[in-house]
Amino acid sequence: MKPVILRTLTGGFAILILLISCSDAGAKPDKNRIAYWRSKYQQLKPQDDPRVVKAQSIFQRIVKVAGARPSVVPRLFMTKNDPWGITLPIALPDGWIVLSQKVLDIGYRDPEQGDHRLAFVLAHEVAHQLNDDFWHMRFFQALEAASTNQTVSQAFLNDVRRGASMTEHVLSRELQADERGIIYTAMAGFNTHAIVTSDNTVNFFADWIRALNPRRVRGIAQGQMRPTPQERAASLKTRLHRIVDQTAVFQVGLWWYYAGDYPKAIQAFEHFRGLFPGREVIHNLAASHHQLALQILQATQKNTPIIPFQLSMAIDPETHASKIYLDAKVHASRGSSDLAHAMALFREHLDNAIALYREALSLEPGYTPSARNLGSALIIRGVHAADSSRQADLAESVMTLSRALERKPDDPSLLNNLGVAFFYEGRRDRAETSLQKSMNQALTAVPIRAASVYNLGHIARIKNDQMAARQYQHQYEQFTSSPVPQPVTTGQTLESLQELVVGKIISSQRQIQTKSEFQLEGITYILASDPSGLKTLTQDGEVLMIMAGKGYSGKSTQGIALGSQSRDVEASYGLPSRRLATTQGQNLSYDTRGIAFQLHEGKVVSWLLF
């Protein structure tokens, strides 16, 4: 049977799709599956190259932030030699990515940048996977079938080869994978400036393209390739400069979240979502709506808790709120119309949060942070809803949290929220069982353990079990008590980092290492870093926020440094205004001092001045 050729037009270029007959396809090994590659090429193992373990670890970090296609588990297979004689990273439809050893050699030519560059190479292929974009594999198989089929004319073979140079067909897919790949790389915590910088001192793409030679099809002369490697590098750099700059929006969204400026955090995450609708972006946008809804509701209830329980929720990768946002429209004490408006705003933002958490879970059903937060948000909405809606929200909360626990059966934050959901459903025995298990599992997660103890104490008081209530109260105070220093007074030293002070104009003499400029709602912001490990957010030269992060050797005005213990922070600053769990630890925020500390495993990893 002759091959069937389908010709279509896109942007003036002919796209050739070769449909091989079933009999021909069945007779040949299936290159779309890893079994072919395992049988054909020798696997590169850790004993052959110690970078294998590192590559697998980097791959898992990328997959964690990028997600996966339904029913496909992304995996990495490394070969000792180059398939087809070409240095090859390639995505297979069955979920595997094939990487040859020479890719490691190219990426680690600069050892300091190797991890970051390998992360981008892997992220690029993961992007192809998630987009169901396997044009490389289809093209290879079409060409090979055409080359071995005696009934195919030389003219047709030339047409197939020319297909490799079609700019619109090839370049658009590669650029899309580059754009998504750079975002995955940044979200996984790797340095995108190892790939490209605005000052032209780094351009990994030019070296990478020259090393790979994008001519991935045998029999095509390099001179026939359009765009050329140089043209593609220039195009990539133009596109990626924009993407790299925009990753600053995601980072600043987190800062505004820490500072409690949820409307601005919503602006940032919404803007970034338009560029890349990844699960973390959607989750963080949901969390910002969620926290704003809680602030609005709390403002209407003055000193009364929203509910008499403590729920677990977190932003990803780090979280916490600081300043309480109170829009003029939320001052409920001014009258019933203000209260009605405040409640409408509360419901609007909470509804948005719930819809967005569901969207994040649709991208990856096993994404625990969104399941935990969705369960919490549904409880809040259910408790403050009419009876008809109340049971539906509580039932969905129980279902969502229970499904998440099937994947992570001992997660204390899920167990804590599930216990509260059970309580409001009227299943108090199951509520206590879930909270007890949460308390026992959260041996090192102090905030979650404290929440579970607090919730058990509340149930004990409802049951009129005063002895148990006192015991839980004593335990809770042990978790939350700390020395309280004198409050900030007039003339007391303000928080600063080196010569940088929030609200002051930044010095034009400051040495800048990296700089990203972006606009939100017509306002231009600049996020810049210096060699000391400080980052600043400025507007018209005025410092809005300052972050001390990795590499910074200084201390806060109260003597806290990177690596300080959480107990040191509380001994110096007292009880925080808010203490919330994050997916990487916790965040301690001090409103009156304008400082928030981010902790991982009980140690300070950064702090923010706002």
H runs (alpha helix) in 304-386: 336-363, 368-383
Between residues 356 and 30, which one has the greater pLDDT?
Answer: 356
Task: Please identify, in words, the CATH class of the domain defined by 249-480.
Answer: mainly alpha
pLDDT digits (tens, 9 = 90+) for 88-124: 788 888 889 999 999 999 889 889 999 999 999 999 8
Q: Is the pLDDT of residue 229 over 70?
A: no
- Cα dihedral 405→408→414→415 (10° resolution): 70
Residue recorded with tokens 């579970």: 452
Q: Which three-class secondary structure state does DSSP give residue 317? A: coil
Q: Is the pLDDT of residue 401 over 60?
A: yes
Task: Give strand pairing partners of 538.
Answer: 526, 543
pLDDT at 250 (0 to 100) = 87
Q: In angstroms, rounded to a whole number, what is the distance separating the alpha carbons of residues 554 and 497?
A: 8
Q: Is the pLDDT of residue 272 over 50?
A: yes
pLDDT at 142 (0 to 100) = 52
Between residues 564 and 315, which one has the greater pLDDT?
Answer: 564
Q: Is the pLDDT of residue 87 over 80?
A: no
Q: Is the dihedral of CA 113, 115, 116, 120 positive or negative?
A: positive
pLDDT digits (tens, 9 = 90+) for 445-496: 778 888 999 999 999 999 999 999 999 999 998 887 755 554 544 445 689 9
Rounded percentage of the chain residues whose pLDDT exceeds 70: 75
Task: Give strand pairing partners of 547.
Answer: 535, 608
- Tokens representing 480 are 């939350």
Give the range among 62-76, 197-211, 212-226, 230-244 with minimum mean pLDDT: 212-226
What is the b/e burial string over 538-560, where b = at least 16 CB atoms within 10 angstroms of the residue's CB? beeeebbbbbbeeebeeebbbeb
**Average pLDDT over the chain, rounded to whole?**
80
Q: In angstroms, rounded to a whole number, what is the distance separating the alpha carbons of residues 564 and 560?
A: 6
Q: pLDDT-derived band of residue 200, with 50, 70 and 90 as boundaries?
A: low
pLDDT at 5 (0 to 100) = 31
pLDDT at 208 (0 to 100) = 66
Between residues 376 and 331, which one has the greater pLDDT?
Answer: 376
Distances (CA, A) of 346 to 12, 303, 486: 52, 17, 35
pLDDT at 280 (0 to 100) = 82
The length of the chain in residues reads: 610
Q: Is the pLDDT of residue 439 over 90?
A: yes
- Tokens representing 46 are 């850790």
Give the range among 20-34, 126-140, 311-325, 478-492 with minimum mean pLDDT: 311-325
pLDDT at 607 (0 to 100) = 96
Distances (CA, A) of 497 to 255, 493, 543, 547, 561: 16, 12, 12, 9, 11
Q: Is the pLDDT of residue 83 over 80?
A: no
Do 597 and 587 form a contact (C-beta atoms < 8 A)?
A: yes
pLDDT at 31 (0 to 100) = 79
Task: Give strand pairing partners of 519.
Answer: 524
pTM score of the predicted model? 0.69
pLDDT at 303 (0 to 100) = 74
Q: What is the DSSP string of 501-536?
A: -TTSBPPTT---SEEEEEEETTEEEEEEE-TTSEEE
Q: In what order do the strands lie in the sheet with 89-91?
A: 75-79, 96-100, 89-91
Do 569 and 604 form a contact (C-beta atoms < 8 A)?
A: yes
10 Å Cβ neighbour count for 40?
Answer: 11
Task: Give strand pairing partners of 603.
Answer: 565, 600
Residues of the chain with CATH 1.25.40.10: 249-480
CA angle 552, 558, 559 (to 5 degrees): 45
pLDDT at 9 (0 to 100) = 23
Give the range among 77-91, 142-156, 535-549 with minimum mean pLDDT: 142-156
pLDDT at 230 (0 to 100) = 58
